[in-house]
Structure formats: C-alpha cells, structure tokens
Amino acid sequence: MKPYETCAPCTLKWVYERARVLVREEKRFELIRKILGVLSQEFLPTINVGSLCNKTINSVHEFVLDSAPYYKGLKFQSNKAAKELLSAARIFIEKGQTEQERFDRACVLAAGTNIAPIGLPPEGFKFQEALDMIMERNPLPAVTGDVFKAVQSANHVLYITDNAGEIGFDSLFIAKLKEMGLKVTLVVKEDPFFEDATTEDVSFFKLDQLADSVLTAKGFFMPKEIPPPLFDCLDKSDLVVAKGTGSYEALKGEVDGKKTIYMLKIKCEPIALETGMTLGSFALKLEK
C-alpha cells in the first residue's frame, strides 16, 4: 500500500509510543530524532507503508530491544485472556448448522480479535469484541468475497499472524483449514517486536503442533524484501491469510494477483478509504 500524507505522523506515533516504554526521558529525544531521520529520507509517495515501518523500526533497534521486557508481560496477559475464552469460542463455532457456517464463525472470530490500537497498548488485550460475538450480543463482521470458496479451492495457505493473544483465536481458524485438508505455513515475527506474536506465543497455544511449519519474519512481511525461505513459501502458496493493519499495508499491491484474505480492524482513515469500510469496523475481505 502506498502512503497517504497522514501515514508519516501515524508511523512516528506508532513506533515512538511502543519503543519508548522503558526509555529514560533524556534518551527519548534521540529516539524521536532517529525516527524522524528515516521519515525525512524515506517518506515518498512511491514507498510501501509496510517497508517504511520496517525501516523505521530497524533504525531504533536498540530501543526495541530495551522495550522487550514490557511486552513480554503484556503478551502473557493477552495470551492468558484469550486462552480463557477459547472453550466458549469452540462451542460458538460448533453451533454452526453447516460446514460453511462453522467455517464462517471461526473466520470472523479470527478477524474480530484484531484489536491493537494505533497508540501504545496500555495493558493486555481483553477481547471484549470477541466475547460479544461468542455470546451473540453483537452482529458478526461482514465478509467481502467468497472466502469459503477460496479456501475450498486452495491447497497451501500462508498464514501471516499479527498480535499475541489474538493468535489463540487464529488457532481455531487454522484448525478449520486443516480439517479441510489444507497445508498451513504460519508466519510470526522475530522476537522482539512489540506486542506482535513470536514463536513463544506459537508454543503457548501449541500452534507448532497444528500448523505444518512455522517461519519467522524480521518485521512486517514484505514480499520484495523477505529472505528466500519465506519467499519460496509465498511463491508455493495459492492463498494468503494476512492479519492486521501492518500486513494490509505491507501486502496490498505487492502479491502479484495471489488470492489474499485480509483480516483487520479499521483503525485509520487511509485504511478505511483503501478497504471501503468504516472506521472501527472489522474487515474480512478476499482480494484476488
């Protein structure tokens, strides 16, 4: 996805608020200067937003390392909160009357747990939206495109995760993909990467026993910048599932016509304009 003018201050806010959590006040000016240095050089109409985010995060790597203990606790709280809801979520899914309805329920739950804010998460995610769906208090997110048919016709899914906690709900959707006979390659971030899921979170939910393989990406999954093992897996897959705003920004316009299911909460005006959806809604969208 190419940037809008508001993507520059948003990138500054997103990276700065996350990287500064354990930084002494006198070092925060250095952190801001490094972020602004990348933006002043790289913020061009032609750059991919995911690539811009990766370049910015890489420029402040020492601050990302320093922030890791904070996010370790936050991610544990998120994983614990998600795990407590999984039994009820499974019951909700199995209430579907047909195979497609059960599939749809697992799919919308995975989409409806993408709730990380643009600003710094103040605490572990509680997944109230998911609970409201499970308890049937709120309508389910709308599905754009024939997602079920796309999965039925696929053989190998590349599943790009987003945050810790929500990856527990991803496990329920991935279980459905496996029941349908698909090979699933799971992609998580290299640790540390703020609140995003890593191999530690994969182990927490035993996803390494469910997925066919687990790979790690250094930052947001950028097709033109990933190393050969990841690129080969993307090339061999016939369907991509991409979770979160960062994945949408990185993959939009970069996957050469490969079928992609985007799952994310619409948190900013540029993404609302790109998806044609309203702010605050959940997008569950198949693009070819």
Q: What is the pLDDT along the chain (288 residues), one digit of tens a residue?
A: 999 999 999 999 999 999 999 999 999 999 999 999 999 999 999 999 999 999 999 999 999 999 999 999 999 999 999 999 999 999 999 999 999 999 999 999 999 999 988 888 888 899 999 999 999 998 888 899 999 999 999 999 999 999 999 999 999 999 999 999 999 999 999 999 999 999 999 999 999 999 999 999 999 999 999 999 999 999 999 999 999 999 999 999 999 889 999 999 999 999 999 999 999 999 999 998
**Residue 136 and residue 263 in one domain:** yes
Residue 115 phi/psi, 5° resolution? -120, 5
User: Which parts of the chain are beta strand (E)?
Assistant: 143-144, 156-160, 183-189, 213-217, 239-243, 260-265, 282-287
User: What local confidence, expressed as pLDDT, does residue 256 receive?
Assistant: 81
Q: How far apart are the first and last CA of the chain?
A: 15
Same domain, 140 and 234: yes
Q: What is the C-alpha separation between 205 and 203, in angstroms, rounded?
A: 5
Considering the domain architecture, whether residues 45 and 94 belong to the same structural domain is answered as no
Question: Do 228 and 122 sit in the same domain of this protein?
Answer: yes
Region of residue 155 (phi > 0: left; psi between -120 and 50: alpha; otherwise: beta)? alpha
Q: Do 217 and 84 lie in a common domain?
A: yes
57 lies in the same domain as 155: no
Residues 186, 80 share a domain: yes
- What order of strands is seen across the sheet that includes strand 143-144? 143-144, 282-287, 260-265, 239-243, 156-160, 183-189, 213-217
DSSP state of 243: E
Which of 64, 82, 102 is a domain's end point?
64
- pTM of the entire predicted model: 0.96
Label the pairing between strands 282-287 and 260-265.
Answer: antiparallel
* Residue 2, domain member (yes or no): no
Residues 71, 143: Cα–Cα separation, whole Å: 32
- Rg, C-alpha atoms of the chain: 18
**What pLDDT sits at residue 211?**
98
Same domain, 18 and 142: no
In this structure, the answer to whether residues 78 and 47 fall within a common structural domain is no
Residues in contact with 116: Cβ distance below 8 Å, sequence separation at least 6, in sequence order: 125, 162, 163, 195, 244
Strand, helix or coil for residue 105? helix
Place of tokens 């919308």: 108
Instruction: Give the residues across from 144 on adjacent strands.
Output: 285
Same domain, 54 and 77: no
Contact indicator for 176, 135 with CB cutoff of 8 Å = no
Number of domains the chain is built from: 2
Q: Tell whether 191 is covered by a domain.
A: yes
Q: Which of 64, 96, 112 is the last residue of a domain?
A: 64
**Strand 213-217 versus strand 183-189 pairing type:** parallel
> Are the C-beta atoms of 116 and 244 separated by less than 8 Å?
yes
**138 plus 240 within the same structural domain:** yes
Residue 263 counted as domain residue: yes
CB atoms within 10 A of CB 137: 8
Range of the domain at 133: 71-287
CA distance 288 to 286: 7
For residues 101 and 55, the answer to whether their CB atoms sit within 8 Å is: no
Does residue 211 sit in the same domain as residue 261?
A: yes
Can you give the pLDDT at residue 120?
84
Residue 136 placed within a domain: yes
> pLDDT by residue (tens digit) across 4-21?
999 999 999 999 999 999
CATH of the domain at 94: 3.40.50.10880
In this predicted structure, what is the pLDDT of residue 109? 96
Cβ(254)–Cβ(275) below 8 Å: no
Instruction: Answer with the one of 42, 64, 86 that is the final residue of a domain.
Output: 64
1 within a domain of the structure (yes/no) = no
